[in-house]
Amino acid sequence: MGRHGTIAGRKAAQDSKRAAVFTKYARAITVAAKAGGDPDYNVSLKHAIEKAKSINMPNDNINRAIKKGTGELAGESYENGSFEGYGAGGVAVIVDVLTDNKNRTTAAIKHAFDKYSGNLGVPGCVSYMFDRKGIITIEKTDSTDEDELMEAALEAGMDDMATYDDSFEIQTSTDAFNDVCDALKNAGYEFVEADIELVPSIEATPTEEHDIKNLKKMIDILEDNDDVQKVYTNCTIDLYE
């Protein structure tokens, strides 16, 4: 499924880029809040706030981002965008962005692809290799019963569940995502992550060490960019080690 590394690895990567991650999540909240500032009536805003809280973003930051979205505070106007291409070793890459300057963002992403042996392509050149799915990650602990978790998720409409050394990863359709999230929360489960993701249906495994190094460097540069929200690949190798 193109898993994004271990929980510890992802947390370490987030911790090292804490300010940048706060900026990305604040933008997501601002954009979501344009459809209404009450998370009880705005599912996108609710999920954006939950993700921000999962990385301990201060409430003041969250409230300020909401007010920018509703117009109570002045703020930039962001637009969604997506870039597709191939990284080193023929790995498919999709970059989702929220930007207030598309020309700046396009130049930065093209530079990252070019510098690390990638090729930025046209819309649709790799997206056919991915499916949009709901992904819920729950940390594996001694108190987590795998069978009980699977039963609760199945009853709510889950499609599949993968078990890793440190976590359980639940996959849903986009339609069932909110129902499964609500059912698991009501059952007392806490999420490490829960979001709609692009899951590769066709995977790639680079074999050259320099290709893997270039992929890791390119993704690191892309994720360091405040305009970049998410980077997806179809690489079977953990690029976050």
Third-level CATH fold of 80-121+203-233 = Alpha-Beta Plaits (3.30.70)
Say how many residues make up the chain.
241
Q: What is the CATH number of domain 7-70?
A: 1.10.10.200
Q: Do 86 and 78 form a contact (C-beta atoms < 8 A)?
A: no
| Strand order, beta sheet including 119-120 | 119-120, 79-86, 92-99, 228-233
Mean pLDDT to the nearest integer, 20-43? 91
Displacement of CA 238 from its chain's centroid (Å): 15
Nearest 5 degrees, angle CA 118-CA 121-CA 127?
105
Residues of the chain with CATH 1.10.10.200: 7-70
CATH 3.40.50.1220 is the classification of domain 129-200? no
62-90: burial string, b at 16+ Cβ within 10 Å, e else? bebbbbbbbeeeebeebeebebbbbbbbe
Phi, psi of 135 (to 5 degrees): -125, 125
For 157-205, how does the pLDDT look when each residue is reduced to its tens digit (9 = 90+)?
A: 999 999 988 899 999 999 999 999 999 999 999 888 888 999 999 999 9
Residue 207: CB atoms within 10 Å: 8
Task: Calculate mean pLDDT across residues 22-44.
Answer: 91
Tokens 């893997």 sit on residue: 212
Cα distance from N-terminal residue to C-terminal residue, the chain: 17
What secondary structure does DSSP assign to 126-173, as a single string?
TGGGEEEEEEEEEE--TT--HHHHHHHHHHHT--EEEE-SSEEEEEE-
When pLDDT is cut at 50, 70 and 90, the band that residue 1 belongs to is very low
In which residue ranges of the chain is CATH 3.30.70.980 found? Answer: 80-121+203-233, 129-200
Angstrom distance (rounded) from CA 138 to CA 121: 35
pTM of the model: 0.85
User: DSSP code of 204?
Assistant: B
15 confidence band (pLDDT: 50, 70, 90):
low
Angle between helices 18-33 and 7-16 (to 10 degrees): 90
Measured CA distances, 86 to 129, 159, 183, 220, 233 (Å): 12, 29, 38, 15, 9
